[in-house]
Chain A
Amino acid sequence: MNKKTILLIDDEQSFLEPLADALSTEGYRILMARTASEALDILKKEKIDLVTIDIMLDPGETLKDKIDSHKTGIFLCEEISRNYPYIDAFCISVISDIKIIKKIESLGIRFLRKGETPLRTVLNMLKSRLTNVSYSSARDSNPTKRN
């Protein structure tokens, strides 16, 4: 069976655990990154089908002097949009700054708010994205039209 791989990027263990539990039950292969540096390393090495990104995130060793940790996720959204446009991406964060949310959405990345979105909703959205969009067909699509 060709398991789809999901990369969860968040520095909060408390966020990663229940989401990973739910997604593993659905049969997905789960990878986790707790810093932006870790995430970029995994993206280089692994074939990822979908990624979830937090905004306020530890940049990690290689990026700590280059990025404001309050906006690490925006950097990652831009990186993924630019270099991995075939990967589906969701941003799951507690931020409420409408400018940042619009910026993320303008990259074709769906924004979900932590604390307000039930796990079942997150699960259904991720599953439906993974079922509807195949890896090869999504690769050539315009990332700004993901939604």
Chain B
Amino acid sequence: MSNHVAEIEQLKKENKELLKKIEQVEKDREEYLQNVSHQLVAPLNAIKWHIENLTEGRLGIDRIQKVLRSIYSQATLAVHLAKNFNLMSNLEADHALTKLKEPLQEIKLCQLLINLADDFQPLAWDRDIKISVIDKNFEDAPVILAMKPLVSQVFSNIIENAVKYSNSATEIIIEGIYQPKKDSVVVTIKNRGIGLDPSHTKKIFDRGFRSPEAKSKYPAGTGFGLYIARRIVEIHEGEITAKILDGWTIIEVSLSVKGLKGKARIRE
């Protein structure tokens, strides 16, 4: 009898803990959806309001060019976020390895990074941030074989993060080099901003992790950008790391030149 009582008590306790966990999951889900909504609405609202100002003739000639650039940068951001949420829904459903099938393509990383820097530069100019791609060494790096839309999303997530968390009037520097020993191209993206606690250099790639500094600076983040980047890099059997050096926050991505060539890395 007493055994049964103890067992019931134990079950009650477990039930209570389970309910607590469910509540937390529900709370996290609500916060995530709220943040996703906030992130997507912000650029779309800006585009709508800018267009309203243009059509209502509220802007002087000198202002119109700047507003058009702003519309372009907000549209870039909206597209970037929509791609991320699509990837995220695949990862959430744990379909990453079966659904994220893209044909392998030869990618010249230097050119890819130049294009991405061009895409994000108007957004960065809003806060007087310059994005520079140093093509010395990088230009000569061999092409890699990988899934281009995914690799592109890795770097756009890192650049978008760098823009978001950089101090105003600073520079984001992107460099790349071929490492023959590893037969890999290593890309580094560095910025000066809110910084990174050394104890968080691994955690920032965890699902949903956001440092207190990041939460404070930009409350609506989801903490999924670098997680998505890590998952994609892992799919390509590359490496992604973060470090702090002389006030710079540095993200380093290493992708193999041979990449997925001839290998069925994307398992069913």
Contact = CB atoms under 8 A, between A and B. Distances in A.
A11 B34 CA distance: 17
Interface string A97-130: 1000000000000000011001110000000000
Interface in B121-142: 126-127
A17 interface: yes
Contacts of B74: 14
- Which residue of B58, B70, B219 has the most chain A CB atoms within 10 A of its CB atom? B219
Contact of B219 (A14, A22, A57): A57
B58 A22 contact: yes
B41 A95 contact: no
Contacts of A69: 215-216, 219
A30 interface: no
B46 A18 contact: yes
B215 A14 contact: no
A2 interface: no
A81 B220 CA distance: 25
B31 interface: yes
Interface stretch (B47-55, B79-87, B102-110, B250-258): B47-55
B37 A94 contact: yes
B67 interface: yes
B20 interface: no
Interface in B37-75: 37-38, 41-46, 48-50, 52-53, 56, 58-59, 63, 67, 70, 74
Looking at chain B, what size class is its interface with the partner chain?
A: 20 to 34
Given A69-B215, A94-B41, A13 B127 contact: yes
A19 interface: yes
Contacts of B49: 18-19, 22, 119
B217 interface: yes
Interface in B178-233: 215-220
Interface in A1-26: 11-15, 17-19, 21-22, 25
Contacts of A15: 42, 45-46
A38 B175 CA distance: 36
A114 B45 contact: yes
Contacts of B53: 18, 21-22, 119
Contacts of A25: 58-59
A78 to B, nearest CB: 18
A118 B50 CA distance: 11
B50 A115 contact: no
A111 B74 CA distance: 24
Interface string A134-145: 000000000000
A85 interface: no
B216 A119 contact: no
B23 to A, nearest CB: 16
A74 to B, nearest CB: 12
A132 interface: no
Given A21-B58, A94-B38, A95-B34, A58 B45 contact: no
Given A21-B63, A94-B38, 17 more contacts: A11-B218, A12-B46, A14-B46, A17-B46, A18-B50, A18-B52, A21-B59, A25-B59, A58-B219, A69-B216, A72-B219, A94-B34, A96-B34, A114-B42, A115-B41, A118-B48, A119-B49
5 A-B pairs with the lowest CB-CB distances in the bound complex, closest first:
A18-B49, A14-B46, A69-B219, A115-B41, A56-B219
